[in-house]
Chains A and B, each alone.
With several copies, the nearest count.
Chain A
Amino acid sequence: MKLIIAAIKPFKLEEVREALTAIGVRGMMVTEIKGFGSQSGHTEIYRGAEYAVNFVPKVKLEIVVATSMAEQVVETIAATAKTDKIGDGKIFVLDVQSAVRVRTGEINDDAI
């Protein structure tokens, strides 16, 4: 199995979720994060003092899928989250050794 970690723009979340459901992804973990990257660094003024905004709000998806499915999931996210504007995000793939579904005790591919 693979753990797919993706940082995307918040307003893309719903679209990505629908696309993933469409290809059969049955679960994920979503976290609000502060992203730092090339998009960062524009400046704002607060009460007359200028300052750099280094973090931009992003959404992190963590999805565990069967190895066979991983590529498709990555492509789907990449396709759906794309706006061609800087800050679209990143997708990372890691190896998962095992998985358990708490409710049933099913393991690995059956668990996800």
Chain B
Amino acid sequence: MKLMKLLPLAAIIALPCAGFAQDTAVVAETAAAGVADDTPQMAEIGYIFTTFMFLITGFLVFWMAAGFTMLEAGLVRQKNTTMQLMKNVALFSFAALLYYALGYGLMYPGAPADGVYPDSWMIPGWLGAFSMASLEQVGGSPDTDLTYASVGSDFFFQLMFCATTASIVSGTLAERIKLWPFLVFIIILTGLIYPIQASWKWGGGYLNETLGFLDFAGSTVVHSVGGWAALAGALILGPRLGRYGRDGRVTPMPGANLPLATLGMFILWLGWFGFNGGSQLYMDTAGNVADISRIFANTNTAAAGGAIAALIMTQVMYGKPDLTMVLNGALAGLVSITAEPLTPSLGAATLIGAVGGVIVVFAVPFLDKLKIDDVVGAIPVHLFCGIWGTLAVVLTNGDATFMGQLISIAIVGAFVFVVSLVIWVILKAVMGIRVSEEDEMTGLDVAELGMEAYPEFSKG
């Protein structure tokens, strides 16, 4: 995302959320606008364009929640499907609440004005102040700054990024983690971990101001963060029963419903146009809308590059193309282009995505070697390719420095990984995070929820 925004927060602070102020407000404005009340003032047009753009790209990113749900429901075994659905619906819902209650405020304390951070930071550049999100009054406020977008649209859009981060974690830890400890972690992730580190870049914090870190739509700020949290969880949680034999033999546990997984991939691909496109943050000029167009085209070609790379790699390496790897490959391409979907040419974007696809094909078995059990391949896709994509920014964007990117990746990674690790350890000690062996063998659906995902289909 290009620049963090003072104004929304200003707005937040300025305006109490006066619910019933509606009509007055409307009237006021109407009056103001007078006769031609249905023709926007010239100054409003850019504001309408950008706000509407956020709403549309925002609902596309929302749709990604369904994508993760289908992808994961398709890649887990039948007996754990209901639980995976439950986790995904619940995590999105909690993310929505927490980002409203804590996240949005923490994430956008505002950029420093000539070097000086506003008081909205508790620790300037590192930790924002606590405040609940609230929107402009109904009818909009006369003193709204028209150069950006409505707070509501910005909040809506940003909320979806927070939820995406949470979605990444559920896939890795599937088939063995208990529902509630998982949700407690999600609450902490979406209410604190994500927004705090995001403020360092997009909130105008240290990484942005001092390290000149560039991460357009969040290869690091969103995807690798989800990946780090998932990795920490996987280490504490341990692999699924019978997944790794003593002799280093890996027992595949094939996904139960590949059409569902493929649908999930397509949903994510679609949602990503909003994810990257909306991160342009402005659609108020020909230049901005042309940039958003570049981003759409680059995002698409990077996904294609990733899919084809994985297709060819698995054909060559295993003699048979692996659909699940091709799905991961497309997502890898998308994650890889996310840090910089604007500046690359179509050719460069395709290559950046293709490298992501290759990374995944090697990373998946590599994690198995390390006995790190990542059910859906979220760590290779979101963490490994998130890092790759963030470094790849330097290839096409002259403003990025390799060290600036690398250090930022390290700072974010260290923070998220360590904090997550601590939380997982505490959760394990306090409430236990893993289901009993018997329950795991029976499957979480029957054991934990008493509800099968496909009760009438006999298991082959």
Seen from chain A, the residues whose Cβ lies within 8 Å of a Cβ on chain B are 10-11, 32, 34, 44-51, 57
Q: Enumerate B434-454 residues with CB–CB distance to A below 8 Å.
A: 441-442, 450-451
User: CA–CA, A48 to B377, complex, Å?
Assistant: 12
B303 interface hit (Cβ, 8 Å): no
B301 to chain A minimum Cβ distance, whole angstroms, is: 25
Offer 23 A-B interface pairs, CB within 8 angstroms, sorted by A. Answer: A11-B441, A32-B459, A32-B460, A34-B460, A45-B319, A45-B320, A45-B450, A46-B252, A46-B450, A47-B324, A47-B325, A47-B364, A47-B368, A48-B317, A48-B361, A48-B364, A49-B250, A49-B252, A50-B250, A51-B250, A51-B251, A57-B459, A57-B460
Does B142 sit within 8 A of A, measured CB to CB? no
Q: CB-CB < 8 A to B324: which residues of A? A: 46-47
- Shortest C-beta distance, B387 to chain A (Å), equals 20
Tell yes or no: B458 within 8 A of A by CB.
yes
CA distance A57 to B446 in the complex (A): 11
A78 to B377, alpha carbons, bound, how many Å?
Answer: 39
Say how far B190's CB is from chain A's closest CB, in angstroms: 29
Q: Closest residue of chain B to A14, judged by CB?
A: B242
Taken together as a complex, chains A and B put the C-alpha atoms of A45 and B377 apart, in Å, by 16
CA A29 to CA B304, docked complex, whole Å: 44
B322 contacts the other chain (CB 8 A):
yes
Measured between beta carbons, the chain A residues less than 8 angstroms from B318 are: 45, 48
Which 4 A-B residue pairings sit nearest by Cβ, starting from the closest? A48-B365, A46-B252, A49-B250, A44-B450
Shortest distance between the CB of A47 and any CB in chain B (Å): 5
Residue B347 interfacial (CB < 8 Å): no
A49 to B251, CA, bound (A): 7
State the CA gap A11–B250 with chains docked (Å): 17
Q: Write out, one digit per residue, whether chain B residues 333-365 have a CB within 8 A of any chain A CB (1) or not (0).
A: 000000000000000000000000000010011
Q: Beyond A46-B254, A47-B252, A47-B324: 18 further Cβ-contacts under 8 Å?
A: A11-B441, A32-B458, A32-B459, A44-B320, A45-B450, A46-B322, A46-B450, A46-B451, A47-B322, A47-B325, A47-B368, A48-B318, A48-B361, A48-B368, A49-B365, A49-B368, A50-B250, A51-B250
* Chain B positions 242 through 261: 1 when the CB is less than 8 Å from some CB of chain A, otherwise 0: 00000000111010000000
B460 touches A47 (CB 8 A): no
Q: How far is the CB of A85 from chain B (nearest CB, A)?
A: 8
Which chain B residue lies CB-closest to A12?
Answer: B441
**A51 in contact with B441 (CB, 8 Å):** no
Please judge, given known A-B contacts A11-B441, A45-B320, A46-B451, whether A51 and B459 are in contact too, CB under 8 Å. no
A30 and chain B: residue at smallest CB distance: B460
| Distance (whole angstroms) from the CB of A13 to the closest CB of chain B | 11
